[in-house]
């Protein structure tokens, strides 16, 4: 995004296609986040009150331009490689993101955007997996890649990292949705993996750059569970390999149910007597899967079909 970009955007009430100034919308989005009480929920509610309104219509243009200039410079200096954005209403913005309770208005990305249009499944779980959990992750991903699915995960340590690496290792495609802005790496151990995904696959962030830079780690940690909601909305299903009682993975589980997505939980999670969440989610519509055959049957099943 070295120069301001313009795209066509959808207008649901008219066949006319209007241009959108990408740099201006990015700056306006960042400006909205500069407000002290800003959150994904508040911004989504504000925009929902005025259907069809763009972020740039809520912020003075001079302020939006100033924010855009600073953010462009920061991302360029931190990534050293091209990036772009997608804005709600634009043709390439995934309409399925609007299924979220507080849909994200703007996404930053690096890599091949076309991957969002491929069949995809999220494979997620704990940052502290067992050896068995890592093995199950590889087995699941191998089957999904073989069956033509793109693997989506959050680039966290543990199950997420194993899912991305397995997708790449088995010759598949992968999308990472991160909880930091472009140009930041967390955990640091994934710096090479994040660079590879940004260059050869797809790296997505919804995190506002200026707000992130101004906050402490305590404030910024809340961006991680928010990206789980986006992963749920982007994908056909979420598969949970392993997760503890307080895992952020359960935020994605709740989001998947709320958004009408399939939630598949490995049987090994039910076998753990110290966990109460698997049966709770099963009672809400999640499906227990015992092997890859179960998993594939659920992915193939039409949502309207009876189990």
Separation of alpha carbons 250 and 228, rounded Å: 9
Separation of alpha carbons 241 and 9, rounded Å: 38
The pTM for the full model equals: 0.92
pLDDT band, residue 89 (cuts 50/70/90): confident
Torsion of CA 254, 287, 203, 70, to 10 degrees: -10
pLDDT of residue 18: 56
| Domains of the chain, first to last | 6-111 (no CATH), 114-300 (3.40.50.450)
Is 50 exceeded by the pLDDT of residue 258?
A: yes
pLDDT of residue 27: 97
pLDDT of residue 301: 85
Is 60 exceeded by the pLDDT of residue 305?
A: no
Separation of alpha carbons 246 and 26, rounded Å: 34
Is 70 exceeded by the pLDDT of residue 111?
A: yes
Say which residues have a Cβ less than 8 Å from residue 147's Cβ, sequence separation at least 6.
296, 299
- Residue in the structure block whose two tokens are 């919308």: 25
Torsion of CA 90, 203, 5, 81, to 10 degrees: -170
pLDDT of residue 150: 98
Give phi and psi for 201, each to the nearest 5. -130, -120
Closest of 300, 170, 161 to residue 237, by C-alpha: 300
- pLDDT tens string 3-62: 445 443 343 443 334 578 989 999 999 999 999 899 999 999 999 998 888 999 999 999
Neighbours of 241 (CB within 10 A): 30
Separation of alpha carbons 166 and 137, rounded Å: 8
pLDDT of residue 275: 96
| Rounded alpha-carbon distances, angstroms, from residue 126 to 2, 98, 252 | 37, 27, 12
CA angle centred on 55, ends 93 and 69, rounded to 5°: 95
Cis peptide before 38 (omega within 30 of 0): no
pLDDT band, residue 1 (cuts 50/70/90): low
């Amino acid at each position: 995004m070295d120069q301001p970009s313009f795209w066509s955007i959808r207008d649901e009430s008219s066949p006319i296609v209007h241009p959108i100034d990408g740099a201006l919308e990015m700056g306006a989005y960042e400006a909205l986040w500069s407000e002290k009480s800003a959150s994904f929920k508040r911004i989504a509610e504000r925009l929902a009150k005025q259907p069809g309104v763009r972020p740039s219509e809520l912020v003075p243009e001079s302020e939006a331009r100033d924010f855009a200039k600073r953010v462009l410079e920061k991302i360029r200096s931190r990534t050293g490689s091209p990036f772009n954005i997608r804005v709600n209403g634009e043709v390439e913005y995934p309409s399925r993101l609007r299924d979220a309770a507080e849909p994200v208005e703007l996404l930053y990305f690096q890599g091949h955007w076309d991957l969002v249009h491929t069949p995809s499944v999220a494979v997620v779980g704990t940052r502290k997996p067992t050896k068995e959990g890592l093995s199950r992750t590889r087995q699941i991903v191998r089957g999904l890649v073989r069956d033509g699915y793109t693997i989506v995960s959050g680039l966290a340590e543990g199950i997420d990292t194993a899912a991305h690496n397995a997708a790449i290792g088995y010759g598949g495609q992968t999308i990472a949705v991160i909880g930091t802005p472009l140009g930041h790496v967390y955990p640091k151990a994934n710096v090479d993996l994040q660079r590879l995904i940004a260059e050869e696959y797809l790296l997505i962030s919804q995190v506002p750059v200026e707000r992130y830079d101004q906050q402490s780690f305590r404030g910024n940690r809340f961006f991680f569970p928010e990206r789980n909601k986006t992963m749920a909305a982007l994908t056909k299903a979420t598969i949970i390999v392993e997760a503890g009682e307080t895992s952020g993975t359960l935020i994605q589980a709740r989001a998947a149910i709320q958004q009408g997505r399939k939630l598949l939980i490995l049987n090994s999670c039910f076998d753990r007597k110290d966990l109460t969440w698997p049966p709770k989610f099963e009672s809400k519509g999640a499906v227990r899967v015992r092997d890859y055959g179960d998993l594939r049957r659920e992915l193939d099943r039409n949502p309207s079909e009876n189990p």
